[in-house]
Amino acid sequence: MITTTITHDKVNGTVARLSDSHRWVGSTLERYGFTWSRAHQAYTLPGTRTWAFDPYRVGRATRQLRRNGFTVRVDVDNTTPKADPIADELDQLLDVAYTAQRLGAAYQSDQRDRADEITEQHRTEIQSAVTAACDRLDRLAQRLGWDLPEILHINFVLNDAWVAVGLPPF
């Protein structure tokens, strides 16, 4: 018997984990708004990480699964954690991304206005700083998944910085 465990907390949001793979259960969860998350290796309900549990949205999926003989367990923890480690990391990385974007804009301005004063060492330092920020994003995205809107936004900002400092677009 396949058991679907739906959990909700303010760090991971609403996550549905299956005890065993079943195509029909997965398609039912997708029909009710869940998407597969490679980071969690489970189905997640997008946009629920910082919100309280939505019993109506999840209730339709659980009702359909139970109607067809599947066991569903729901665990809800609506308490707000003292610190949200994911949000803190994303905020720090967004600050780094905006700093890298400003650095890229300043580098382009310097290239335009005083190109003869830019040394190879200066260019290499700027490119390595932007590359380090992109590496940090990649490590965080490997943990959290590329499907988070915050990760996609940071990626967009860092791509601007990456191109601005003369690196090939990714």
Helix (H, G, I), strand (E, B) or coil at 81: coil
**Could you identify the residue written with the tokens 């489970």?**
42
Q: Does 90 lie in the same domain as 68?
A: no
Provide the domain count of the chain.
2
For residue 145, give the nearest of 51, 6, 24, 12 by alpha carbon.
12
For residue 32, give the nearest of 12, 48, 49, 52 by alpha carbon.
48
Q: Does 89 lie in the same domain as 155?
A: yes
In a domain, 56, yes or no: yes
Q: How far is CA 160 from CA 59, 68, 116, in A?
A: 42, 49, 24
Tokens of 87: 């949000």
Q: What's the rounded Cα separation, in Å, for the pair 33 and 167?
A: 38
Which residues form the domain of 19?
3-76
Write down how long the chain is: 170
Q: Does 107 lie in the same domain as 55?
A: no
Q: What is the pLDDT along the chain (170 residues), one digit of tens a residue?
A: 778 889 898 878 899 988 887 788 888 899 999 988 877 788 988 878 777 788 888 889 999 999 988 889 998 887 777 777 778 888 899 999 999 999 988 888 888 898 888 888 888 998 999 999 999 999 988 888 787 788 889 999 999 998 988 888 76
pTM (2 d.p.): 0.57
